[in-house]
Structure 1
Amino acid sequence: MLNMPLMALLLCCLSLGWTSAARAESLRIATEGAYPPFNYIDEQGNLVGFDVDIGKALCNSMKVHCDFVAVEWGKLLDGLEAGFYDVVLASMADTPERRNQALFTDTYYRSHSSFVGDPSRFADLSPVSLSKMRLAAESGTIQAAYLHSEYPGSVVVTPPTQPDVFTALARGEADLVLADSISILMFLKSPEGQQFDFINYPLDTSKLNSTAHIAVGKQHPELVQRINQAINNIRLNGDYDRINRKYFPFSVF
């Protein structure tokens, strides 16, 4: 028969073991919460959007519980590196710089970038033609980096969130916006976007034609493989297509 101190120790160990197992079956997912229709906060204060629904489908495939948290874009990878959450699911491109802080999964959607503005004012998008023009893109994105690199003669404006970028255009605080074509499409359907349109075709450059990936903490390489398998699973079982149709009239994969 176990004595009381030993029994207490055993119960404590069992409790800790159960807690660790439960935690292992819970995936902490960070997203920006300010990039509609991919991730945003609705009128009820809930995190919603394409990224969130994809995350839930992946967790269901992996048979784990999901906990979502909204984090400012510029702090997402720092928080991942610090271990505040397990993955970042926020329409993030896999770049050499970001690989210093995270591992990345396979692609879960593809994107192209375009300029949006007043089509009656702009046709030529060359750096010379756009010299002195105010060009806007969300801070910390590949679009912002592209503007700084390719349009040195322009005034580059980098608001902190994508809605802020479109607001700058609508208020006349920016002449053109460079953004993901899908987010532009959503903006053009809004009341604020009625007077604007795509300027020419999406930019044909490897610097902008990117794929979206899920960032995983470097301490969890095994999680990358699990998520990759889950991405494949939801594409095969129809969950991905169902979510795609909910948000877009065309395939984003």
Structure 2
Amino acid sequence: MKHICWFFLALALLLPGTAAAGSPLRIATEGAYPPFNDVDRDGNPVGFDVDIARALCKTMNVECTVQIVAWDNLLPGLAAGDFDVIVASMAKTPERKAVADFTNYYYRSRSTFAGDPDKGFRQTREGLTGKTLAAQAGTVQARYLEDNYGGTSTIRLTGTNKEAFDLLASDGADAVLCDSLTIFTFLQSEEGRRFDFVGIPLPVSSPSSEARIAVRKGDGRLLKALNEALREIRLNGSYEQINRAYFPFSIY
């Protein structure tokens, strides 16, 4: 047990702004991306991301707070020092790497389209000409739609992923491009029953394939501590327990 004590002590010394220094580690998540992050009836943050964040805090033996921040404000707020960590299913992209540092991935998932399979779906620029495609603004999926279907398809970008699914359900969009795991949850809902996965997933090399945790640029000590904690929750079974609470298959 001696080496474990030294592990926790080292983490406490490494983490700026933690309970050891008199203030908690401040974690931000979006709160609008179920099942990964959402809010309950009382307005409290819940979801896979939130459970992972709390498991990391427990492993690091630090006090943490989790706050809800709009997607577009996450990276600016991190850079401004409004919080210390983002746990919000964020993919690492060249643009984001310029303003934040990222941990190892904590889950993987392919991006794909959701739509009405009875209407037919040809996943080519020609096949989607004239179609309305939706995605959440500021995401890698939104960029993909604009780069590959802009000019021939109508691209509708929404404030949240739920709003994109609402467009699909109300026939305001022919298809939604997003993380396949969020589609999995949507398809099990009442409004999602008439829809399904359509087309083929984006390439595995797509940056949306790996979700990571973001810290302020240059905060190498916190980054290292989080990576150590991610490894620990994988080894001690905490990660698997959280995984099984949301999905009947591994998403690591």
TM-score by length of structure 2 reads 0.90
What residue is the counterpart of 1:7 in the other structure?
Answer: none
Which of the numbers 70, 93, 107 marks the counterpart of 1:72?
70
Q: Which has the larger radius of gyration?
A: 1
Query: 33-42 or 192-201, which moves further after superposition?
Result: 192-201
Give the match's secondary structure for 1:34: coil
Deviation at 1:124, TM superposition (A): 1.3
What residue is the counterpart of 2:130 in the other structure?
Answer: 132
Deviation at 1:220, TM superposition (A): 2.0
1:125-157 CA-partner distances (Å, limit 9, x unpaired) = 111110111000011000000000011211110
Work out whether residues 113 and 208 of structure 1, in 8 Å CA contact, stay in contact via their aligned partners in 2.
no
> d(CA) in 2 for partners of 1:99 and 1:132?
34
Name segments (4+ residues, structure 1) moved above 6 Å: none
Tell me the C-alpha RMSD between the 2 structures: 1.5
What residue is the counterpart of 2:13 in the other structure?
Answer: none
Work out whether residues 169 and 177 of structure 1, in 8 Å CA contact, stay in contact via their aligned partners in 2.
yes
Asked whether 1:164 is paired with 2:163, we answer yes
Query: 202-211 or 127-136, which moves further after superposition?
Result: 202-211
Q: Which amino acid counterpart does residue 44 of structure 2 have in structure 1?
A: N
What residue is the counterpart of 2:196 in the other structure?
Answer: 197
Give the match's secondary structure for 1:192: coil
What residue is the counterpart of 1:109 in the other structure?
Answer: 107
Query: 38-47 or 181-190, which moves further after superposition?
Result: 38-47
Q: Which amino acid counterpart does residue 193 of structure 1 have in structure 2?
A: G
> d(CA) in 1 for partners of 2:94 and 2:126?
29
Work out whether residues 131 and 154 of structure 2, in 8 Å CA contact, stay in contact via their aligned partners in 1.
yes
> d(CA) in 2 for partners of 1:183 and 1:216?
24
Work out whether residues 18 and 25 of structure 2, in 8 Å CA contact, stay in contact via their aligned partners in 1.
no
Query: 213-222 or 26-35, which moves further after superposition?
Result: 213-222
Give the match's secondary structure for 1:79: helix
Q: 1:185 to 1:45 in 2, by over 3 A?
A: same
Q: 1:137 to 1:36 in 2, by over 3 A?
A: same
What residue is the counterpart of 1:13 in the other structure?
Answer: none
Q: Percent identity?
A: 50
Which of the numbers 42, 52, 55 marks the counterpart of 1:54?
52
> d(CA) in 2 for partners of 1:206 and 1:148?
18
Q: Which amino acid counterpart does residue 232 of structure 2 have in structure 1?
A: N
Q: 1:209 to 1:133 in 2, by over 3 A?
A: same
Unpaired stretches in structure 2, ≥5 consecutive residues? 1-16
Give the match's secondary structure for 1:193: coil
Deviation at 1:20, TM superposition (A): 8.3
What residue is the counterpart of 2:8 in the other structure?
Answer: none
Deviation at 1:47, TM superposition (A): 0.4
Q: 1:34 to 1:80 in 2, by over 3 A?
A: same
> d(CA) in 2 for partners of 1:139 and 1:245?
30
What residue is the counterpart of 1:223 in the other structure?
Answer: 222
Deviation at 1:26, TM superposition (A): 1.8
Q: 1:138 to 1:21 in 2, by over 3 A?
A: closer
1:20-73 CA-partner distances (Å, limit 9, x unpaired) = 864466210000000000000011211000000000000001110110110100
> d(CA) in 1 for partners of 2:19 and 2:27?
18
Q: 1:109 to 1:227 in 2, by over 3 A?
A: same
> d(CA) in 2 for partners of 1:197 and 1:34?
21
What residue is the counterpart of 2:7 in the other structure?
Answer: none
Work out whether residues 146 and 207 of structure 1, in 8 Å CA contact, stay in contact via their aligned partners in 2.
no
Q: 1:211 to 1:136 in 2, by over 3 A?
A: same
Which of the numbers 105, 119, 122 marks the counterpart of 1:121?
119
What residue is the counterpart of 1:249 in the other structure?
Answer: 248
> d(CA) in 2 for partners of 1:219 and 1:66?
21
Give the match's secondary structure for 1:234: helix
Aligned residues: 235
Unpaired stretches in structure 1, ≥5 consecutive residues? 1-18
